[in-house]
């Protein structure tokens, strides 16, 4: 298997979250050639799970690799540029998929002697829905999963380095849409309207007071205003409706849930100040904090040393969200970073391209985890 060719092929067929039909088909085609014990497809998503089952009691490990692209046009002058407009692998999921396929190839050549290994090829990571879709199928209840593992390439860190920390590795993140529903009136008679203006202003001002932007602080949390919109472009009509959209993030899942309760109470209180005004709240794209257990992190440290790689312990979690966090809230495990180069453009940047040279590093660290779990002898 020529990893760079496979990665670049997936780069060319980049598909957005929820639309990974061709990507999923191609992953299945490659896996089928490797003849694992089972390959499972799902009706509600393009998720795939490949199982390598020894048939002998032992540990059950799950490894995740995501497959979806982001909504960024490809402008790089490369021979394998994305063929799909407004879809490109600017987060490196083409590389993550290739790493997991490389691990499947090694398992096909040297199957586990005890226990089971699940390879989870995840769709819809960017929207925070892929893991939830898998959980909702109850597929994982068929297995006693001992540990879960995933990596994400991290620009700005030395190539091939392993980046990790105990407890929260990425923040808990959720998006919020608040609809304010009043009544319009003639612009000459705004007193006859039910205006969302006062509630929108009060909600926004109060939510901004929750911001603690110093990542070193225990109570770090950020509420970012994404959109504020009242009324329509109709100069003869007083605004009667509005929408506020925010993204909320915190260090831990518990902290985020507490913040959600506070926000809901504030919205209710502010809306009640305007007689006749109604509201609705939608919580969207929830990314649970990725929680790394001590045991899994210690295993990763040993594997990093055995592979001759540099281990970097991060003092604070990354501020972005990762859908794998939902699995780490349910099962022991670890999400860690794989350095993609100090000069590598940042994730989601138009100039980003996954460095092929770290594919084998990702495969090897996953393989070493399996070895250390004593599943190959």
Let me know if 218 is exposed, middle or buried by CB neighbors in 10 A (0-12, 13-18, 19+).
Answer: exposed
| CB 221, CB 172: distance < 8 Å | no
Determine the Cα–Cα distance for residues 360 and 338; give it in Å rounded to an integer.
11
| CB 191, CB 339: distance < 8 Å | no
Q: How many residues does the chain have?
A: 377
Question: pLDDT digits over 175-222, tens only?
Answer: 999 999 999 999 999 999 999 999 999 999 999 999 999 999 989 999
Tell me the whole-structure pTM to 2 decimals: 0.93
| CB 136, CB 157: distance < 8 Å | no
Residue 377 has pLDDT above 90, yes or no: no
Give me the residue label for tokens 């919020």. 176
Question: How far, in Å, are 5, 85, 305, 341 from residue 79 at the CA level?
Answer: 11, 16, 36, 22
How high is the pLDDT of residue 343? 97
At 95, is the secondary structure helix, strand, or coil? helix
Question: pLDDT digits over 267-308, tens only?
Answer: 999 999 999 999 999 999 999 999 999 999 999 999 999 999
Mean pLDDT of all residues belonging to the chain? 97
**Residue 94 phi, psi dihedral angles, 5° rounding:** -60, -40
Task: Find the helix packing angle between 3-12 and 359-372, rounded to 10°.
Answer: 120
Residue 1 has pLDDT above 90, yes or no: no
């Amino acid at each position: 298997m020529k990893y760079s060719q496979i990665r670049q092929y997936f780069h060319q067929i980049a598909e957005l979250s929820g639309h990974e039909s061709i990507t999923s088909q191609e992953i299945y085609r490659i896996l089928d050639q490797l003849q694992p014990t089972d390959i499972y497809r799902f009706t509600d998503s393009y998720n795939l799970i490949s199982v390598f089952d020894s048939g002998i009691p032992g540990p059950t490990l799950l490894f995740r690799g995501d497959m979806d692209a982001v909504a960024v046009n490809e402008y790089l002058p490369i021979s394998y540029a994305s063929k799909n407009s407004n879809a490109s692998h600017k987060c490196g999921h083409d590389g993550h998929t290739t790493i997991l396929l490389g691990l499947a190839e090694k398992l096909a050549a040297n199957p586990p002697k005890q226990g089971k290994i699940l390879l989870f090829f995840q769709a819809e990571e960017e929207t925070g829905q892929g893991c939830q879709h898998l959980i909702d199928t109850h597929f994982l209840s068929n297995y006693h999963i001992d540990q879960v593992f995933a990596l994400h390439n991290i620009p700005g860190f030395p190539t091939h380095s392993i980046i990790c920390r105990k407890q929260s590795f990425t923040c808990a993140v959720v998006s919020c849409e608040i609809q304010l529903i009043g009544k319009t009136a003639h612009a000459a008679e705004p007193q006859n309207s039910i205006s969302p203006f006062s509630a929108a202003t009060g909600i926004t001002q109060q939510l901004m007071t929750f911001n603690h932007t110093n990542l070193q602080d225990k109570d770090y949390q950020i509420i970012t205003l994404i959109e504020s919109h009242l009324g329509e472009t109709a100069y003869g009509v007083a605004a009667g409706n509005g929408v506020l959209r925010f993204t909320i993030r915190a260090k831990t899942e518990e902290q985020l849930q507490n913040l959600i309760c506070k926000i809901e109470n504030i919205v209710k209180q502010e809306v009640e100040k305007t007689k006749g005004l109604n509201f609705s709240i939608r919580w969207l794209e929830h990314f649970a904090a990725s929680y790394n257990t001590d045991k899994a992190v210690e295993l990763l440290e040993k594997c990093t040393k055995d592979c001759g790689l540099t281990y970097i312990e991060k003092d604070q979690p990354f501020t972005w969200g990762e859908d794998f966090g939902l699995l780490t809230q349910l099962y022991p495990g670890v999400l860690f970073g794989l350095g993609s180069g100090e000069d590598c453009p940042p994730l989601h940047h138009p100039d980003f391209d996954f460095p092929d040279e770290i594919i084998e590093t990702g495969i090897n660290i996953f393989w070493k985890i399996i070895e250390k779990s004593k599943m190959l002898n």
